[in-house]
Amino acid sequence: MADDAPAVNLAVSLHGATQELRELTVPSARGTSIEELGAALDYHAKKSGRGAMLEYLLIDDVNDSDCAAESLADFARDRGAKFKPFVNLIPYNPTLAGANFGYETPTDERINSFHDLLKKEEIQSSVRWSSAAGRDANAACGQLVLGE
């Protein structure tokens, strides 16, 4: 894509900045290592002249720890100062399918702590809350699943 459409803004569903955590949260990640993903992001940044947006769905007690935030900060920082990605933190929106895995939304305190750690590490980031309308229609982030 970087060669064919370098003007396209790239957003990547990361959800975990270590291979183990990424495979847990994105099962299709088993086919691509976190190192390969980083190299692809670096290549796209070099071709496009800008960093990617990293989408990070925060799930309580899965990928919302301080250690996970530090790994995410390291992954973003490794992209280099010039093309450091922007991190979009998205609190998990409950679904019946997610409940089968025990997934829950982190507390506001936990979300803010994770976000504060990224800011302290000088990683540009924001918390993006899904609208009530999206949640009510089961169309909020983390809710686009097969019928339950």
In the predicted model, what is the mean pLDDT of residues 23-34? 91
Query: What are the structural domains, with CATH classification, of the chain?
Result: 11-136 (3.20.20.70)
Quick check: 105 pLDDT over 60?
yes
3-state secondary structure labels for all residues of 64-102? CCHHHHHHHHHHHHCCCCCCCCEEEEEECCCCHHHHCCC
In the predicted model, what is the mean pLDDT of residues 75-99? 88
Quick check: 28 pLDDT over 80?
yes
Quick check: 131 pLDDT over 80?
no
In 3-state terms, the chain is what percent helix, strand and coil (to 5)? Answer: 40, 10, 45
In the predicted model, what is the mean pLDDT of residues 110-136? 86
Token duo for residue 59: 């799930």
- Under 8 Å between Cβ of 101 and 54: no
